[in-house]
Amino acid sequence: SQTIHQWPATLVQPVGSPLSLECTVEGTSNPNLYWYRQAAGRGLQLLFYSVGIGQISSEVPQNLSASRPQDRQFILSSKKLLLSDSGFYLCACSGTSLGQPQHFGDGTRLSIL
């Protein structure tokens, strides 16, 4: 079964600083990869979706970007963080066949000061 690693687990950054969150997946090849943001105690908002290396779909306009430099590596970035970027960021993966469930990492808690 697949394992999803996210780091760091928590991050405190000043407004205007850059961001790089990394997600790597083990135990599967050519997965679909996803970045979500979650407000406290609420549902998940899909930010980015990737079906392969270099293929990124953005779901909502925002201050963030994503990249997939390798098959099982997904990176979430920003050049200048805003206060509104604070939140809990989750990486997920799924198989490529329709109906495959998504499996999640343990997330990164990002606080912007």
Partner 1 sequence: TQLLEQSPQFLSIQEGENLTVYCNSSSVFSSLQWYRQEPGEGPVLLVTVVTGGEVKKLKRLTFQFGDARKDSSLHITAAQPGDTGLYLCAGANWETSGSRLTFGEGTQLTVNP
Residue 11 or 44: which CB sits closer to partner 1? 44
> Which residues are near partner 1 by CB under 8 A?
4, 32, 34, 41-46, 49, 59, 90, 92, 94, 96, 98-107, 109
At residue 23, φ and ψ (nearest 5 deg) are: -135, 125
Instruction: Output the smallest distance, CB 61 to partner 1, in A.
Output: 15
Instruction: Output the smallest distance, CB 59 to partner 1, in A.
Output: 8
Residues whose CB falls within 8 Å of the CB of residue 63, separated by 6 or more in sequence, listed in order: 78, 80, 81, 82, 84, 85
Instruction: Output the smallest distance, CB 106 to partner 1, in A.
Output: 5
Residue 45 or 62: which CB sits closer to partner 1? 45
Residue 15 or 60: which CB sits closer to partner 1? 60
Residue 9 or 15: which CB sits closer to partner 1? 9
Write out the E strands in 1-113. 3-7, 10-13, 19-26, 32-38, 44-52, 55-58, 65-70, 73-78, 87-94, 103-104, 108-112
Instruction: Output the smallest distance, CB 51 to partner 1, in A.
Output: 8
CA–chain centroid gap for 12, Å, is 17
